[in-house]
Amino acid sequence: MIVFAGRLRYDLGSMSAPTKSLADWLPAPAITALRHDLLAWYRTHRRDLPWRRTRDPYRIWISEVMLQQTQVATVIPYYQRFLASFPDLEALARADIQTVLKHWEGLGYYRRAHHLHQAARELVRSGKGRVPDQHLAFRALPGVGDYIANAVMSIAFAQPRAVVDGNVKRVLSRLGGIAEAVNQASAHRVYQRAADLLLDHGDPATFNQALMELGALVCTPRSPNCPICPWKARCFAHLNDRTHDFPRRIRKNPVPTHAMVAGIICHRNRLLIVQRPSEGLLAGLWEFPGGRRNRSESASAACRRVLQQTTGLVTATDQKLVRVHHAYTHFKIELDLYRCHKVSGRVRLNGRQAFRWIRPDELDAFPFTGVSKKTFPKLALDRLCSTPYRRP
């Protein structure tokens, strides 16, 4: 069976093997038509998002960093609060990292906040005090990879650089029947070449945003809305009824779940919080002291053991307050949180940066890890450390 789509001719009987390149089958007139159709669709259907009302490279940079692996609806209030406190590079550079992390609290992937802060300080310290308009100079800043560099250079400075994120890969995979797995690192260059081929050099800012918007609103991971897609007449996956086959992904092993314990150690109506190291996972954030539980021991026994190992304190467990679950990129946590009381000893941290004895009503003053933050609504903070100890 033969299907005609514009100037393209699809032989469904001979296309069981997808292509690796859009250039294999898209002639130049088809690419011109794709650009025109996408931009026309975008002018009508684009969302009114706060970072689309500016060409300020700093604000665009902040939005693109926040949007990495985070949904738009989640980002909007964080973006607005962040810019209210840090309206420019100088304000961000002057801020203490704890203040920056507090503004980022709950957004996840905290390394992004550290890198933004480091980059702002580098730029201000160098005397420039502005976002570089040269790709290589911007790309050299902490946390700036190919995607961020291309996005900011194209959107803020109208430079012809194509962006490739998850939405873009999904659209390109279906459009061209690209066989390379989107989650395979070596495949990135295939999708970058495809995006470069399609890019509208006359208006790269609008084109890049339109392509990402198409992936976000129409060419979604499940149940893409093909009937309203401006590219449906030229899309390999749609014309061959194979949208469910693309994009292809390498199946990964299930992420492990770690059993963890933590304690709210109460002493003289205050509780102990500890700060994570300045490098590594969740760097600089605060949490309740704790660690991993061995499967062969009870959660309460594990809590007492871990607290003594990590804080130097001998404690007594009072009651289990809550169990919470939390997912990171490569593993999950099942955390049992206990109320504990100090029996003896002095705090001697093992691998932590700092500690504080605080009142329960002071918890909101510190940037906490996501798993610790999840426990807050389930704790009776007003009487957490004032309730008499009950021997189990």
Catalytic residues: 64
CA distance 136 to 115: 17
Residue whose tokens read 């679950």: 325
Q: Are 299 and 336 in contact (CB under 8 A)?
A: yes
- DSSP E strands: which ranges in the chain? 2-5, 8-11, 257-267, 270-275, 286-287, 290-292, 314-327, 332-344, 354-358
User: Other CB atoms closer than 10 Å to residue 264's CB: what's the count?
Assistant: 24
H/E run at residue 98:
helix 97-104
In the numeric block, the tokens 């190291």 are attached to 277
Identity of the amino acid at 384? L
Quote the distance between the C-alpha of residue 165 and its chain's center: 12
DSSP 3-state percent helix, strand, coil across the chain (nearest 5): 45, 15, 40
- Cβ atoms of 159 and 153 within 8 Å: the answer is yes
Query: Quick one: three-class SS letters along 253-304?
Result: CCCCEEEEEEEEEEECCEEEEEECCCCCCCCCCEECCEEECCCCCCHHHHHH
268: left (phi over 0), alpha (psi -120 to 50) or beta: left
Nearest CA-CA partner of 167 in 251, 71, 77: 71
- Burial class, 118, CB count within 10 angstroms (exposed 0-12 / middle 13-18 / buried 19+): middle
> What is the phi/psi pair of residue 185, to 5°?
-55, -40
